[in-house]
Chain A
Amino acid sequence: MTNQPLCAVSSLHFSVPDLNHKPLFGSAPILEILKNINLEIPRGSVMGIVGESGSGKSTLGRCLVRLNSPSEGKIVFDGKDIAFCGEDEIRPLRKNLQMIFQDPMSSLNPRRKIGQIVASALVACGESRAQAKDKALFALDHVGLSRDFANRYPHQLSGGQRQRVGIARAIALEPKFIVADEIVSGLDVSNQAQIIVLLEKLVAELDLTLAFISHDLSIVRRLCDRVAVMRAGEIVEQESSDNIFKNPSNEYTKALLDAAPLPEITPGWI
C-alpha cells in the first residue's frame, strides 16, 4: 500500500444560494456552508468529525462521498480528483464510497425486506442476483444479525438492529471508505456500546477507512485516531485523538469537552 492518504480534501468550499434573503429581482446572495476545508484521511484510519449542529459536519461528510457537489476545491480519493467529475465517471467509484445515515427508519425503505434492502445496492453495482443474495446474508452475519432477519421489514426491528442493517448495507459492497453520519446518536447507551464495539471490529477486520461524524466526544475519543473539530463551516482544530483530548489548544474544543456530561458527580458543572 502507498502512504498516500485514501481521501485528501484541499481548500474545499461549498456554498448554496441563500433563498431566504433573495431580492425580488436578481440573484440570491451566496451562503457559504463550508469554508476552506483541508483534511487528510489516511488509509485504515478512523477520522472523527465533531462540531455543534449547523457547523457543516454532515455537509462535509456528504461532500466526501459526493452526495453534495462542492463549489470549489479538490477531493482526491484514491489518487483521483472526484470533486467535479460527472455522474458516469463517479458511478464505478460509488462502490467504494459508502454512507451510513443517522436515522435508520427514514433511510431504509419501509416496504422492502431487510434482505432486499441490503442486496439492492449489490445488484446496482452489477452483481448477479444470486451472488448479491449471498453477499447480503454474509454482510448480515458480519453485523451480528441472524439470517432470518433478511425476511423481516424495517418496522419489525429495534433501533439498534435497524442501525445494524444500515451498517450491513454499507459493508456489503466491501467499500474502501465509509462515512458514518451520527449513527449512534438515536440509540440508548447499551445499544450505542454494541454498535461502537461492532464498528471497531469491522474496521479491524475489513480494513476500512471511516469518517465518523458525531457530536459526542466520548464516542469519538473511543473510536477515532484523528479528530477534526468544526465550527461554522471551518475546521478549527485537527489533531490526533490523543493530543486533542489531553491538551486541546482551541477555545472552542475546550468548550465542547467541558459540555460533554460524564457519568460522575461534578459539583458546579451546571
Chain B
Amino acid sequence: MMSERPCLEINNLSATVNHVGERVLRSVSLSVYRGEVHGLVGESGAGKSMIGKAVAGLLPRAVKIIEGSITLEGISLDDLDEKGRRHFLGETCAVIPQDPLTSLNPCRRIEPQITDRLIKTLGWKKTKARSRALELLEEVHIREPKRVLRAYPHELSGGMRQRILIASAFATEPKLIIADEPTTALDVTVQKQILKLIKEMEERHGTAMLFVTHDMGVVAKICKNVSVLYAGKVVEQTDVMSLFSGKNNHPYADALIEATPRYDKPDHSLVPVDVSINQILASEILEADKIWKGVGND
C-alpha cells in the first residue's frame, strides 16, 4: 500500500501575506492517500483552512505562495497554466465549505447550484446532470429529492443544506475533497449524521480527504492521519491511534486534547493551552524561521 502514489502531496509549502514579511504557512509537507481522511487541527488562525485553500487555488489575493509544491494525482499544479489548472482542479478536487448558510446562493434553486459544475466543467447534458443530482440527493439521504431540487436554500434546514453541499462536492466524483469545518455550524445529532455520511461517501467513492477542524472529538472519530498546526507550522504529524494513545506527542497536541471538555469526566481539569507550551511553540517557530531565512539568503 505504501508504495502507492499519494493522491495529494504537499511539499515544503510556504506562503506569505503580501505586505507583511511573515509567513502564514511555514514549510508545510503532507501527503494524503486514496480513501484516507487526513485531519488538519489547530486553533483559529493556525492556517488550517489556508492549506485547503492553497490546494483548491482559492487563496485570498493578498496571500502568495513563495515556495514549495502541490502535487495532485501526480500532476504538479505549478506546471499548469491558469486555465489548465482550473479545469484540472474542477475535475479532481472539490470543497465542502464551512458555512452552509452562506455557501448557497439564496436567489437560486438547489438544482442549478448542483448541476452547474457538471454542465460547465464536464460538459454534461442538462437532463443527465439533473438525474445525477437526483441520484446524489438520494445518496445523502434527503427525503423527497425532487421537491428539494426545486426548493430555495432558505426553505431547508442547516443539516439539509450541508447535505446538499456534500452531495454537490461528490457530484463530479473528485479524487480529493477538502472539507473545511463541515460540521462546526451544526448541532451534535446532525453532526453525527453528517460525519457518518461523509465517511460512507468517502468509503464508497474511495476519495482522499483533507478534513479541517478544531474539534479533537471529531478528529478521533473520522480521521486516519492528522497534522496539528500552530501558526502555519505542522508541529505534529501522526496517525490518530498514536495521537490519542498520548505517547510521544508534541506537548501542544496533548494540550489541545486536554482543552477539550468531556461529559464522561466532569472532574477532568479543563486547561486552556498553557503559556509554557506557547513559549515552546514560539521558540520553535523562531528557529524554523531562522533556518528558512538562512536558506533564503543563499
Main secondary structure of the interface of A (DSSP, over half): helix
B284 → chain A closest CB, angstroms: 17
Check A216–B220 contact: CB distance below 8 A: no
> A130 near B: Cβ within 8 Å?
no
| Contact (Cβ within 8 A) B263 A245 | yes
Contact of A265 among B199, B244, B273 (CB under 8 A): B244
Given A53-B190, A191-B44, CB of A263 within 8 Å of CB of B257: yes
> Quick check: B188 and A260 within 8 Å, CB to CB?
yes
Asked if A269 CB lies within 8 Å of chain B CBs, one says yes
B297 proximal to A (CB < 8 A): no
> How many Å from the CB of B226 to the closest CB on chain A?
12
Query: Is A189 touching B43 in the complex (CB atoms < 8 A)?
Result: yes
Interface check B84, CB cutoff 8 A: no
Contact flags (1/0) for B199-243 with A, using CB distance below 8 Å?
100000000000000111111111000000000000000001100
Task: Give A70 Cβ to nearest chain B Cβ, in Å.
Answer: 24
Residue-wise interface mask of A (176-190) relative to B, using a CB-CB cutoff of 8 A (1 in contact, 0 not): 000000000001111
The size of the chain A interface, using a CB distance under 8 A, is 39
What chain A residues lie within 8 Å of B255 (beta carbons)?
A: 190
* Tally of chain B residues near chain A (CB < 8 A): 41
- A261 and B221 within 8 A (CB): yes
B261→A269 contact, CB < 8 A: no
Question: In the bound complex, how far is the Cα of B43 from the Cα of A245, in angstroms?
Answer: 28
Within 8 Å CB of B260, what residues of A? 189, 193, 218, 263
* Complex CA distance for A265 and B223, rounded to whole angstroms: 10
* 9-residue interface stretch from B6-14, B22-30, B169-177, B264-272: B264-272
Enumerate chain B residues within 8 angstroms of A259, measured Cβ to Cβ: 188-189, 191-192
A226 to chain B, nearest CB (A): 14
Report how many A-B pairs have Cβ atoms within 8 Å.
120
**A188-212 vs B: 1/0 string, CB under 8 Å?**
1111111011000000000000000
**Complex CA–CA separation, A193 to B268 (angstroms):** 12
Q: Which residues of B contact A189 (CB under 8 A)?
A: 43, 214-216, 256, 259-260
A221 at the interface (CB under 8 A from B): yes
Nearest residue (CB) in B for A53 is B187
Measured in the bound complex, the distance between the Cα atoms of B202 and A270 in whole Å is 13
**Chain A residues with Cβ under 8 A from B272's Cβ?**
190-191, 193-194, 197
Q: Which residues of B contact A (CB under 8 A)?
A: 43-45, 157-158, 186-192, 195-196, 199, 214-222, 240-241, 244, 255-257, 259-264, 266, 270-273
Beyond A188-B214, A263-B219, A265-B241, list 10 extra A-B contacts (CB 8 Å): A189-B214, A191-B43, A194-B272, A216-B261, A221-B261, A259-B188, A261-B188, A262-B264, A265-B220, A265-B244
3 A-B pairs closest in CB distance? A261-B217, A221-B263, A263-B216
The contact sample of 22 A-B pairs, CB cut-off 8 A, is A53-B158, A189-B260, A190-B255, A193-B259, A193-B260, A194-B272, A217-B263, A218-B260, A218-B261, A222-B270, A245-B264, A255-B189, A259-B192, A261-B215, A261-B217, A262-B217, A262-B262, A263-B217, A263-B257, A266-B221, A269-B221, A270-B195
